[in-house]
Amino acid sequence: GRESCLVGLIGSGVGPSLSPALHQREADRHGLRYLYRTIDIDPLGLGPDGVGELVRAAARLGFDGLNITHPCKQTVIRHLDGLSEDAALLGAVNTVVFGEDGRAIGHNTDGSGFARSFARGLPDAPTGEIVLLGAGGAGAAVAHALLTVGAGRLTLADTDPTRAAGLAGTLATRFGATRVRTVPDDGLPAAVEVADGLVHATPTGMAAHPGLPLPAGLLRPGLWVAEVVYRPLVTPLLAAARAAGCRTLDGGGMAVFQAADAFRLFSGREPDAERMLTDLTDL
Ligand code: NAD
């Protein structure tokens, strides 16, 4: 591992992000000098493609790596020198590592983060039939993770049917056409009725997108519900699912495990993700 680390987070509205505290607290426990700065594209007057200029600047200033978030996870790719297998498959990067040779390599730890959180928080949950609500960036990472660990079939629903169809096409090519289907909004009740579990990967439940992403009447005991939103940690959906008697998983685990995987890539040190989970609850 390194003796010190200089890293950052590029995206829109990243000021309140919990990532700096999560990384720096873990680094403190390793006795590692670690500086994690947020770099917001909005006050810089940059759009999603402005990430290229910032990545080049960070490389020249000696940064060890960067996290990348909305709306730059796709646009950053054309500015990098290479991609990990996961990042190439997802077509999205949330972590950039600058090598000693000056090369910038993109990784994606959202899928691995969800997989570890799911295995920890919903151990031996049945995965024969899963409904995935939201086919954007988080949805794609979740879908790849679930199919990779052996989920039987995913049913994708998105208010934008072209997004659901696009992700379904990519997944069918990689995992086989029988393991993925899409349903329109009015097909959701029937799909949830036969599902073992539901993963929610739309922004619904965040302060800017209040409410429930599906009718609470569809929730029943025996259906597990996994949430990707982690601010707030208990979304209206999770509260409704708990009230309905569902096993639930909040989005905090995914957030912590993706951060832990990025910490390992940046520092070369093995993070203690359980300690980082404890940090999340008091941040
Ligand atoms: P995105 O914009 O890429 O995708 C969201 C998708 O949801 C879009 O395709 C949109 O059409 C769809 N959608 C919106 N409302 C819907 C509804 N009511 N029903 C069905 N589909 C709907 O966003 P994203 O990057 O995938 O992020 C989604 C959420 O996941 C955000 O709240 C983000 O903070 C969270 N997230 C959490 C983690 C984590 O580590 N826990 C990681 C990444 C993203």
Nearest CA-CA partner of 226 in 111, 121, 136, 113: 121
Domain count of the fold of the chain: 2
Domain annotation covers residue 118: no
Query: How remote is the CA of residue 17 from the centroid of ligand 1, in Å?
Result: 17
- 26 CA to centre of ligand 1 in angstroms: 27
Instruction: Write the CATH number for 98.
Output: 3.40.50.10860
Give me ligand 1 centre to Cα 29, in Å. 33
Whole-number pLDDT of residue 53: 98
205 and 273 share a domain?
Answer: no
Q: Please report whether residue 70 resides in a domain.
A: yes
Per-residue pLDDT reduced to its tens digit, 14-54: 999 999 999 999 999 999 999 999 999 999 999 999 999 99
Residue 193 in contact with residue 170, Cβ under 8 Å?
Answer: no
The residue contributing the CA closest to ligand 1 atom 35 is 229
Per-residue pLDDT tens listing for the chain (283 residues): 788 999 999 999 999 999 999 999 999 999 999 999 999 999 999 999 999 999 999 999 999 999 999 999 999 999 999 999 999 999 999 999 999 888 999 999 999 999 999 999 999 999 999 999 999 999 999 999 999 999 999 999 999 999 999 999 999 999 999 999 999 989 999 999 999 999 999 999 999 999 999 999 999 999 999 999 999 999 999 999 999 999 999 999 999 999 999 999 999 999 999 999 999 988 8
Q: Domain for residue 157, yes or no?
A: yes
Same domain, 131 and 242: yes
Q: Is 170 in the pocket of ligand 1 (CB under 6 A)?
A: no
Domain residues for 26? 4-108+254-281
Residue 254 CB–ligand 1 contact under 6 Å: yes
Pocket flag, ligand 1, residue 136 (CB < 6 Å): yes
User: Is residue 147 a part of any domain in this protein?
Assistant: yes
> Which residue out of 19, 59, 73, 279 is catalytically annotated?
73
- Return d(Cα 275, Cα 283) in angstroms, integer: 13
The reply to whether 54 and 134 lie within a common domain is no
Whether residues 220 and 268 share a domain: the answer is no
Whether 97 is in a domain gets the answer yes
**Does ligand 1 lie within 6 Å of residue 227's CB atom?**
no
Indicate the DSSP class of residue 224. Answer: E
Question: What is the pLDDT, as a whole number, of residue 164?
Answer: 97
Residue 163's domain is classified under what CATH number?
3.40.50.720
**Residues 182 and 222 placed together within one structural domain of the fold:** yes
Single-letter code of the amino acid located at 252: G
Whether residue 218 is found in the same domain as residue 133:
yes
Strands 104-107 and 95-98, how do they pair?
antiparallel
Q: 203 with 226, same domain?
A: yes
Residues 57 and 135 grouped into a single domain: no
CA 160 to ligand 1: nearest atom: 11
Residue 178 lies inside a defined structural domain of this protein: yes
Q: Within a domain: residue 114?
A: no
- Same domain assignment for residues 210 and 131: yes
pLDDT number for residue 118: 98
Over the stretch 256-272, which tens digit does the pLDDT of each residue have?
999 999 999 999 999 99
Q: Are 152 and 175 in contact (CB under 8 A)?
A: no
- Please, what's the largest Cα pairwise distance for the chain? 56
Would you say residue 200 lies in a domain? yes
Q: For residue 64, how far is its CA from the centre of ligand 1 (angstroms)?
A: 29
> Do 262 and 202 lie in a common domain?
no
| Ligand 1 pocket member 72 (CB < 6 A) | no
Is 73 tagged catalytic? Answer: yes
Residues 178 and 275 in one domain: no
